[in-house]
Amino acid sequence: MLKWVTGLVALVLAGCTSPGNGDGATGQESKPDGGTIVTPAAMRTEGKVVRTNEKLNFVVLDFGFKRLPRAGQPLGIYRLGKKIGQVRVSGPAWETYTVADIVEGEIWVGDEARLK
């Protein structure tokens, strides 16, 4: 019985290692100098304007499954790829939503919010 357990453990440990150049599990070459770092979509801070209140000068932003911005962080507001305004996150944040104060621009529901 002990031989079976020892053999099973040896097989499991052997399966944890993979042939390669030893630079990590990804097997990708390192980035050359001067390259561009691409942030994965899940790590980007991009949201949509879901509600506006021009009288009180704030918007509600929905970030879906993406990372929520911190309080005080400025965001650019874009419509059809063109920057049309700016907001500053004021909070509160709940689930996928946060509130931001309008700094400049006329912001509509459906506009995109991105880091500057």
Residue 71 has what pLDDT?
A: 92
Residue-wise pLDDT for 74-113, tens only, equals: 999 999 999 999 999 998 889 999 999 999 999 999 999 9
Residue 28: phi and psi, rounded to 5, are -95, 150
Determine if the pTM surpasses 0.75.
no
Domains and CATH numbers, the chain: 44-116 (2.40.10.170)
Residue-wise pLDDT for 16-74, tens only, equals: 555 555 544 444 445 556 676 665 554 567 999 999 999 999 999 999 988 889 999 99
- pLDDT class for 115, splitting at 50, 70, 90? confident
Locate tokens 């005080």: which residue?
A: 72
Residue 15 has what pLDDT?
A: 55
Residue 24 has what pLDDT?
A: 47
